[in-house]
Amino acid sequence: MRTYLGILAVVFISSTFASGYYYDSGSGFGGFGSYWDSKDADDTWGGGAILRLGMGPQWQVDFRGSYYEFSQSTMGLKETLEIIPVEAALMFRMPLEHAFTLYAGGGGGYYFADYEAREGGEKLRLEIDGDIGFFVVGGAQFRIGEALSLFGEAKYIWLDFGKAKFKGTGIPELEREKFDIDLKMDGLAINIGLLFNF
């Protein structure tokens, strides 16, 4: 993880010196790679898309959609947890010289989830009720050309899934009943991506 963050810092610093002075509207669309270290499902890599809309010189709104797959295998049992976050955030921008902008804020989203466990030829699936989560985020954006920006950010997420039901068992009575779960996905996420500015 330290090596990963060190490489990020070098890329950011290099791009800053290579950048000229460009007007930054704060708006753009693009994609990002992500690392999420959660409480109950360990850590994983994922990615997503982002639409960023500038609201004057000091505010921006982000709309994000992403995908993560947490998986682990223990003594022949393979477990997979898929999460699809759909998020929005409001952030305060601090534009600096050399096409460099800091930002910080927070938001929330709706998180879809599914769980599957396999052992040999047997399979168990759970349909987890989607839930609302919240996060705070802070990062930096570097304008590396007239139409392209590089950004990196740290985000802390609060998310707790509380209900689920069986899926694909072939037993309607079993699949109708929901039961309580306590799946806490609180944790730190690191995002790095590119924006096409407009």
DSSP secondary structure letters along 108-149: EEEEEEEEEEEETTEEEEEEEEEEEEEEEEEEEEEEEETTEE
| Domain enclosing residue 165, as ranges | 2-19+29-197
Q: Is pLDDT at 18 greater than 80 in this prediction?
A: no
Q: Is residue 134 part of a domain?
A: yes
Share of the chain above pLDDT 70, in %: 87
Specify if 51 maps to a domain.
yes
Q: What are phi and psi of 153, to 5 degrees?
A: -155, 160
Contact 109, 30 (CB under 8 A): no
3-state secondary structure of 58: coil
pLDDT of residue 1: 56
Q: Find the mean pLDDT for residues 168-183.
A: 86
Residue 15 confidence class, pLDDT cut points 50, 70, 90 = very low
Per-residue model confidence (pLDDT) at position 11: 47
Question: Does a structural domain hold residue 24?
Answer: no
Number of domains making up the chain? 1
The full DSSP string for 67-84 is EEEEEEEETTEEEEEEEE
> What pLDDT is recorded for position 24?
66
> pLDDT at position 94, please?
94
Residue 110, domain member (yes or no): yes
Q: Does a structural domain hold residue 130?
A: yes
CA atoms within 13 A on the CB side of 160: 4
Would 54 be classed as within a structural domain?
yes
Q: Ramachandran region of residue 170, left (φ > 0), alpha (ψ -120 to 50) or beta?
A: left
- Helix, strand, coil shares of the chain, percent, nearest 5, are 10, 70, 20
Look up the CATH number of the domain holding residue 49. Answer: 2.40.160.20
pLDDT classification of 52: cutoffs 50, 70, 90: very high
Q: Which pLDDT value is given to residue 22?
A: 54
pLDDT range class, residue 23, cuts 50, 70, 90 = low
Quick check: 176 and 167 in contact, CB under 8 A?
A: no
61 inside domain: yes
Band (pLDDT 50/70/90 cuts) for residue 19 is very low
Indicate the average pLDDT of the chain.
88
User: 101 lies in a domain?
Assistant: yes
The pLDDT score that the predictor gives to residue 17 is 43
Tokens of residue 169, six digits? 């068992």
Q: How confident is the model at residue 185 (pLDDT cuts 50, 70, 90)?
A: very high
